Amino acid sequence: MTIKRVILSLLTLVVIFFTGTSLWASWQQPQINSRLELSQTNLLLRAGQLQGDKNDANLTKASKTLVGEEPLAAATKQYQEARESAQKNLAKAKNQLSLLAQQPSTTPAPPKPQEQIAPITNNSRRGQQKQLQKSLNQIEKLIGELDLRLGILQAQQQKPEVALTTWQNTVENSPPSSLTDTANVLIGLWSNPPKVFPDAERLIQANLDGWFQGRAFAQLYQIQQRPDALQTLQAAEQEQAQEALFKLAIISTIPAIAGLTGLALLIYLIFGRLTKGKEALISQNGELRWSTPWDWETVWQVFIVGFFLMGQFVVPLLFALIPKPEVTTARVQALSTLATYLFLAAGAVTVLYFSIRQFLPLPTGWFRFKLRGSWFLWGIGGYCAALPLVVIVSLINQRIWQGQGGSNPLLSLVLEGQDRIALAIFFFTAAIAAPLFEEFLFRGFLLPSLTRYFSVWQAILLSSLLFAVAHLSLSEILPLAVLGVVLGVVYTRSRNLLAPMLLHSLWNSGTLISLFILGSSST
């Protein structure tokens, strides 16, 4: 074995360890799906307030179609399920903290050879306890926030006694905080006779948002006998309801149309494959391999050194040396994410270039970009076809992971962010930079390189699996692998990198737009 292979082998072991650690850490984190569902529920509640013209049958029908017949009951069920899930996660975190406290510990000692794994040290145990305690505090806060909103939903369904019990449990089971103060405010507003606390308006403004904030303010203004304030609130809610209905139409109708189109397209492609065989559209270039002048060692080097090592060590170390601003704003986070991605892409492409430059000029078909041709149709069609496939796999995936497994942290930043400039930077990162770099590396280099040793279909599957693992989120491996398969099929059939880049860009753009719309439902 050469020195180069020894070094690559050692680096591979390091990369496997840290990748496994990252995937394991993601398993400890909740998925973003439950938060997305609650955000959509909040949007439904907003839209459900619309009091359109009774003579406008189309608007009434559209509203009922999007919102449903009983939005309050549906929202209550959604919030109850979210609370039950949070309660399970709280019990799990407490159990892990208890088990960690029972483990034997030692003080750190100089390393020495030993056959068995050493007991956990005090320092490492304290670090894990600190992390678990932080997660536990976050879950407890989440349960308190859910209870505030669940109580308002119950009160709006003429169940004030149930609502008062919900808020009272929050006061009794949570440490004193602004959430418990808000719970006391809500208890006072819905008690008989009602009681208004001096700082009621401030607490409602600080700890409630969207539809829930509006319902609490409406109750407050009625008790205070402030008809002008109530009328202003109702007028604002009607404007917000119209806007919410439009947003619901965007995030519901457009994906539904694209998904149905994709389902029809999949049926057409399968039927064509069964009837026409190798002459079918989906079989185009299906068995045509690339002429690959390098061997597996070059592929190994590019991904271990250029992608994983660069992404997990070099770039993070570089940014760790850069002084950080005292206040981390959304724009700083967005710029940091973009800069990190650009440095990773530059490093990976540099390693790729020096790894294959001895083989230049490359054989025909490598890294092909052609503005002419049917790449646009392949990109659009691939996006539509991917929608139903990924949705089906995601539903199965949710049952497997039960809300755990983590998600891309960028999704949370976009969902919570309202800074337009920061969102524009996030959009550029995810919808332009990511598709260009990832498709260039995974579909442009990895997939064709694998066809030297595997069939085209096997190369598609292997490159898709590595593409999914590279995102370092355990719960997203299956959906991303399916998306990777579609990207691979589109590229191998079109033989134009612009096609999977367009598909990838459409996918990320759709996700970001939906997140932005759902995030705005609370404002």
Q: What is the pLDDT of residues 441-487, one digit of tens each?
A: 999 999 999 999 999 999 999 999 999 999 888 888 899 999 999 99
pLDDT in tens, 326-373: 667 778 888 888 999 999 999 999 999 999 999 989 998 999 999 888
498: left (phi over 0), alpha (psi -120 to 50) or beta: alpha
pLDDT in tens, 411-439: 666 666 667 888 888 889 999 999 999 99
Compute the distance between CA of residue 461 and CA of residue 51 in angstroms, rounded to an integer: 51
CA distance 173 to 187: 15
The DSSP letter of residue 22 is H
Does residue 469 sit in helix, strand or coil?
A: helix
Q: Is the pTM of this model over 0.75?
A: yes
Q: Is the dihedral of CA 403, 406, 412, 414 positive or negative?
A: negative
C-alpha dihedral over 507, 510, 513, 519, to 10 degrees? -90
Tokens of 451: 């066809």
pLDDT for position 319? 82
Segment of 9-13, 84-88, 409-413 carrying the highest mean pLDDT: 9-13
Handedness of CA 411, 417, 418, 420 (dihedral sign): negative
Q: What is residue 30's three-state secondary structure?
A: strand
Q: Can you list the pairs that 14-22 forms with residues at least 24 positions away whose Cβ atoms lie under 8 Å?
A: 14/309, 15/304, 15/308, 15/309, 15/312, 18/312, 19/308, 19/312, 19/469, 19/472, 22/312, 22/472
* pLDDT band for position 114 (cuts 50, 70, 90): very low
Average pLDDT estimate for 482-508 = 95
Nearest CA among 384, 385, 408 for reference residue 477 = 408
Domain spans of the chain?
Answer: 3-103+123-244, 292-360+381-522
Give the pLDDT confidence score for residue 122 in this predicted structure.
47
More confident residue, 288 or 38: 288
Of 195, 205, 142, 141, nearest in space to 164 by CA: 195
Confidence (pLDDT) at 177? 87
Contacting residues for 1 by C-beta, under 8 A, at least 6 apart: 9
Mean pLDDT value of segment 41-66: 72
Q: Which candidate, 507, 328, 330, places its Cα nearest to that of 420?
A: 330
Return the pLDDT at 54: 56
Quickly list H helices, 103-209: 122-156, 160-173, 178-190, 200-207
What sign does the CA torsion over 127, 130, 136, 138 have?
negative
Q: Name the residue with higher pLDDT: 357 or 71.
A: 357
Asked if pLDDT for residue 495 goes beyond 90, the answer is yes
**Which backbone phi and psi does 106 adopt, to 5 degrees?**
-135, 160
Place of tokens 């309801």: 241
Distance of CA 382 to the CA centre of its chain: 21
> Tokens in use for 281?
């559209």
Confidence band of 139 (pLDDT split at 50, 70, 90): confident
Only one residue has tokens 């999007």, namely 66
